[in-house]
């Protein structure tokens, strides 16, 4: 892990690493995460670092803790969002505050090992643009693990993620990738989708995953469903194509069933045409139509919201005493 040979000011200097951490209900954990980053980066002589903490309108006193962490530190920036915009919007807010040559994203609960950030940085030095941490054994709850599997399937089918690539909330990326990501200014950002369309030079590196010591995950079933739906409607037209295929298959099935009914009645006039079968078919196909209309409506709704310039996030307050030189 060496120094930059041709840095921005023309002399040898350390690479700056920006740690971006979205925070929600982490008043009791974020201090320890910051201490762990401090300890880990002291061991990496080739890097300087800064920390960007984004409070996603947490209902506890998370931002008060962040404000105290910023006191007397010129390498920590605290951002307070006006309302809860979600983890990915909070990441985007952090990316726009980051100044580093490399941006590292991790969780606020201590489950992602900040002391193993050197592994991600070393992998980047091999020529990759983005490196995702891969957990040998995840310590999430059954609910979160199930959500991760669904997210894995969705990103592979809808966004074209390589099957062998593992994506997580702990990753490092080069400056140009972060700059490409923040060009996206619409609401409903989906960071994984933005990364996958920015570069294909992505790798994994194995790290440990810890048990959650305090609190529970901020992801509810509603938030997870919203995240998945956002992922495949904001960055893929495959749902529309799937809707078209389902529509064609359903129409063909209905047509064939109609022919079958006519032929059956013609060959055996005594066989009654079942009213229940007719109603079942009507309900089934009407349900499919409503489903497809719902998907199309979701796309139209998002276009409408984007045209109305709905904000990706709103910053209420920013505490930043970092040196203005960089």
Distance of CA 186 to the CA centre of its chain: 15
Percent of the chain with pLDDT over 90: 47
The average confidence (pLDDT) of the chain is 82
How far apart (Å, rounded) are the C-alpha atoms in residues 241 and 236?
10
In a domain, 84, yes or no: yes
Strands in 47-55's sheet, in edge-to-edge order, are 202-207, 130-135, 171-174, 102-105, 15-23, 47-55, 76-81, 315-320
Q: What is the pLDDT of residues 168-177, one digit of tens each?
A: 899 999 999 9
pLDDT exceeds cutoff 80 at 304: no
Beta strands in the chain (DSSP E): 15-23, 47-55, 76-81, 102-105, 130-135, 171-174, 202-207, 315-320
In which band, very low, low, confident or very high, does the pLDDT at 1 lie, cut at 50, 70 and 90?
A: very low
pLDDT exceeds cutoff 70 at 222: no
Beta strands in 56-196 (DSSP E): 76-81, 102-105, 130-135, 171-174
In a domain, 97, yes or no: yes
196 & 251 share domain: no
What are the structure tokens assigned to 27, written together?
Answer: 């008043």
303 & 315 share domain: no
In a domain, 206, yes or no: yes
260 & 164 share domain: no
105 & 136 share domain: yes
How many structural domains does the chain have? Answer: 2
Q: What is the CATH number of the domain that holds 49?
A: 3.90.550.10
Q: Which of 93-107, 190-204, 294-308 shows the lowest per-residue confidence on average (mean pLDDT)?
A: 294-308
Contact status, residue 173 vs residue 95, Cβ threshold 8 Å: no
In a domain, 9, yes or no: no
In a domain, 56, yes or no: yes
Q: Which of 35-44, 47-56, 273-282 shows the lowest per-residue confidence on average (mean pLDDT)?
A: 273-282
Q: What is the pLDDT of residue 91?
A: 97
50 & 147 share domain: yes
In a domain, 2, yes or no: no
280 & 181 share domain: no
Please tell me which residue, 79 or 237, carries the higher pLDDT value: 79
113 & 261 share domain: no
In a domain, 185, yes or no: yes
Backbone φ, ψ for residue 20 (5° rounding): -110, 120
41 & 154 share domain: yes
Please tell me which residue, 163 or 180, carries the higher pLDDT value: 180
In a domain, 136, yes or no: yes
What mean pLDDT do residues 276-298 have? 72
88 & 180 share domain: yes
152 & 286 share domain: no
What are the structure tokens assigned to 102, written together?
Answer: 């490399």
Q: What is the pLDDT of residue 209?
A: 82
pTM of the model: 0.75
Q: What is the pLDDT of residue 11?
A: 42
Q: What is the pLDDT of residue 5?
A: 36
Q: Which domain holds residue 93?
A: 15-235+311-320
pLDDT exceeds cutoff 70 at 214: no
> Helix (H, G, I), strand (E, B), or coil: what is residue 48?
strand
Q: Which of 14-28, 230-244, 297-311 shows the lowest per-residue confidence on average (mean pLDDT)?
A: 230-244
205 & 250 share domain: no
């Amino acid at each position: 892990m060496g120094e930059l040979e041709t840095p921005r000011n023309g002399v040898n200097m350390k690479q700056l690493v920006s740690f971006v951490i979205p925070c929600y209900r982490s008043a009791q954990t974020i201090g320890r995460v910051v201490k762990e980053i401090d300890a880990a980066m002291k061991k990496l002589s080739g890097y300087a670092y800064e920390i960007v903490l984004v409070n996603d309108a947490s209902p506890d006193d998370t931002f008060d803790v962040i404000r105290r962490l910023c006191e007397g530190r010129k390498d920590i920036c605290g951002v307070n969002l006006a309302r809860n915009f979600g983890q990915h919007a909070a990441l985007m807010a952090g990316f726009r505050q980051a100044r580093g040559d490399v941006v590292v994203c991790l969780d606020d609960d201590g489950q992602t090992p900040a002391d193993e950030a050197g592994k991600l940085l070393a992998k980047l030095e091999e020529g990759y643009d983005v490196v995702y941490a891969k957990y040998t054994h995840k310590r999430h709850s059954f609910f979160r693990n199930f959500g991760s599997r669904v997210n894995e399937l969705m990103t592979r089918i809808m966004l074209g993620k390589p099957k062998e690539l593992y994506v997580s909330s702990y990753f490092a990326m080069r400056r140009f990738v972060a700059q490409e990501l923040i060009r996206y200014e619409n609401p409903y950002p989906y960071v994984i989708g933005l990364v996958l369309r920015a570069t294909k030079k992505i790798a994994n590196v194995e790290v440990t995953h810890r048990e959650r010591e305090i609190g529970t995950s901020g992801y509810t079933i509603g938030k997870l469903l919203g995240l998945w739906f956002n992922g495949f409607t904001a960055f893929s037209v495959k749902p529309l194509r799937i809707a078209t295929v389902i529509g064609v298959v359903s129409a063909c099935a209905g047509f064939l069933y109609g022919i079958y009914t006519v032929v059956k009645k013609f060959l055996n006039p005594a066989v009654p045409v079942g009213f229940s079968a007719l109603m079942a078919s009507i309900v089934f196909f009407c349900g499919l139509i409503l489903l497809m209309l719902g998907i199309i409506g979701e796309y139209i709704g998002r276009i409408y919201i984007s045209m109305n310039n709905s904000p990706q996030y709103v910053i209420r307050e920013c505490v930043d005493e970092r040196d203005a030189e960089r």
